[in-house]
Structure 1
Amino acid sequence: MPLGLILGIGRAMRRKRTSSLDILSSKRAPRNYYKGKNCKPTGFHTRKGGYVVMDEKLPRYVVPDLSDFKLKPYVAQCPREATTTEAADPPK
């Protein structure tokens, strides 16, 4: 009897998965369930099976002007030898 009580408490304390994508899938849900991937819709479906993209729902990216920027956007995988300056000893 005490062994069954300990096993019951152990099963009750077991944690469930925290990821919401793993808990419910379309195979464990009703037949017409569509889960999706947390993406916002960019339009709507029509009655005849088409899809209308709404311009106000499309994402807009603001890119600054980088014409006078000193750094380059590319980082080489095999950089050449660079000269470094010795760091000063930290104060004691």
Structure 2
Amino acid sequence: MALGILMGICRAMRRKRSSTLNILSSKRGPRDYYKGKNCKSTGFHTRKGGYVVMDEKLPHYVVPDLTNFKLKPYVAQCSRDATSSETTAATK
């Protein structure tokens, strides 16, 4: 009898520990918890409710010059098996 009670308590403790390891989200946290999207702010809020965007905080992308580049920027999700005369001639 005592062994059954102890086994039940151990199972309950095991279940409790595993459920506390869930990922914390805004639905599981306190009422005022806001997780965010891992983004950096681009400015700051003013006292009167405005927002000032700072140029130093904006992301700047360095893009190389791609003129006369052979590859296209789009890649299809369902690619077809392409056979060309160059590959067949090279294998012979």
TM over 0.5: yes
SS for the counterpart of 2:47 is coil
- In 2, the alpha carbon distance for the partners of 1:26 and 1:55 equals 34
CA distance in 2, matches of 1:40, 1:24: 19
Does the aligned pair in 2 maintain the 1:42–1:57 contact within 8 Å?
yes
CA positional deviation for 1:80? 8.1
Aligned length: 81
- More divergent stretch after superposition (34-43 vs 45-54): 34-43
Please give the root-mean-square deviation of Cα atoms over the aligned residues, in Å.
2.9
Percent identity of equivalent pairs:
56
* Bigger proportion of residues as helix: 2
Aligned to 1:25, the other structure's residue is in SS state coil
Q: Secondary structure at the match of 1:66?
A: coil
In structure 1, the partner of 2:72 is 72
User: TM (normalized to structure 1)?
Assistant: 0.63
Unaligned runs of 5+ residues in structure 2 are none
Unaligned stretches of 5+ in structure 1?
none
Q: Which whole-Å deviations, capped at 9, do the CAs of 1:58-86 have from their partners, x for residues lacking one?
A: 1111111111211111235575853354x
Look up the equivalent residue of 1:69 and give its one-letter code.
Answer: F
- Residue 82 of structure 1 aligns with which residue? 83
Q: How does 1:34-73 map to 2 (within 5 A)?
A: 34-73=34-73
Query: C-alpha separation between the residues in 2 aligned to 1:7 and 1:67?
Result: 70
Supply the distance in 2 between the matched residues of 1:25 and 1:11 (Cα, whole angstroms).
26
Do the aligned partners of residues 2 and 27 (structure 1) sit closer, same or farther apart at CA in structure 2, a change above 3 Å counting?
A: closer
CA distance in structure 2 between the aligned counterparts of 1:49 and 1:26, rounded to whole angstroms: 27
Residue 13 (structure 1) aligns with: 14
